[in-house]
Amino acid sequence: MKKQFIKVVLSCAIVAGGFSSCKNSSSSKNVSRATGWNINAKEGGFQYNSDFKEQETAPGLVFVEGGTFTKGQVQDDVMHEWNNTPTSQHVQSFYMDETEVTNVMYLEYLDYLKSVYPPENPKYVHIYTGALPDTLVWRNRLGFNETMTNNYLRHPAYAEYPVVGVNWIQATQFAEWRTDRVNEVMLEREGYLSEDAKYKVINGEAEGGFSTEAYLNRPESVYNGQIDSLQGKKKRDSVSVFAKRSSGVILPEYRLPTETEWEYAAQAQIGSREYNNYRGRKKYPWEGDYTRNGQRVGRGDQLANFKQGKGDYGGIAGWSDDGADITAEVKSYKPNDFGLYDMAGNVAEWVADVYRPIVDDEVSDFNYFRGNVYMKTAIGKDGKVNVIRDSIVYDTLPNGKVVAVNLPGEIKMVPVDEEETFLRTNFSSSDNRGYRDGEPGSTRFYDRFSDEDEDETNKKKMYDSPVSKVQVDSTGNIIRAYDKSNNRTSLINDEVRVFKGGSWRDRAYWLDPAQRRYLPQYMSTDYIGFRCAMSRVGSKSKTKNKTPRGKKAK
* Per-residue pLDDT reduced to its tens digit, 257-282: 999 999 999 998 886 655 444 454 67
Mean pLDDT value of segment 179-193: 94
Q: Is 80's pLDDT higher than 90?
A: no
The pLDDT of residue 171 is 98
End-to-end Cα separation, the chain, in angstroms:
40
The pLDDT of residue 389 is 79
Q: Rounded to whole angstroms, how far apart are CA atoms 447 and 527?
A: 42
The pLDDT of residue 15 is 47
Angle CA 59–520–359, to nearest 5? 80
Query: What is the average pLDDT score of the chain?
Result: 85
Element housing 214 (H / E): helix 212-217
Mean pLDDT value of segment 216-237: 88
Q: Compute the Cα dihedral for 155, 159, 165, 166 and give only its sign.
A: positive
Q: Rounded to whole angstroms, how far apart are CA atoms 382 and 396?
A: 32
- The least confident of 129-143, 329-343, 388-402 is 388-402
Tens-place pLDDT, residues 124-137: 889 999 999 999 99
Q: Phi/psi at 500 (nearest 5 deg)? A: -120, 160
In angstroms, what is the C-alpha Rg of the chain? 27
The pLDDT of residue 455 is 53
Task: Report the percent of the chain where pLDDT is more than 90.
Answer: 50
Q: Is 212's pLDDT higher than 60?
A: yes
Domains, the chain, with CATH or none:
56-368+495-543 (3.90.1580.10), 438-493 (no CATH)
The Cβ of residue 11 has, within 10 Å, a number of other Cβ atoms equal to 7
| Contact in structure between 339 and 98 (CB atoms under 8 Å) | yes
Tens-place pLDDT, residues 361-370: 888 999 999 9
Question: Global pTM?
Answer: 0.89
Which of 364-368, 471-475, 545-549 holds the top average pLDDT?
364-368
Model confidence at 319, pLDDT cuts 50, 70, 90, reads low
Q: Is 232's pLDDT higher than 60?
A: yes
The pLDDT of residue 75 is 74
Which of 25-29, 64-68, 223-227, 359-363 holds the top average pLDDT?
64-68
Task: Report the percent of the chain where pLDDT is more than 70.
Answer: 85
Q: Phi/psi at 354 (nearest 5 deg)? A: -75, 135
The Cβ of residue 541 has, within 10 Å, a number of other Cβ atoms equal to 13
Mean pLDDT value of segment 292-304: 70
Mean pLDDT value of segment 74-102: 89
505: Cβ contacts below 8 Å, ≥ 6 apart: 307, 313, 526, 527
Tell which residue, 152, 123, 172, has the closest CA to residue 389.
Answer: 123
Mean pLDDT value of segment 457-471: 72
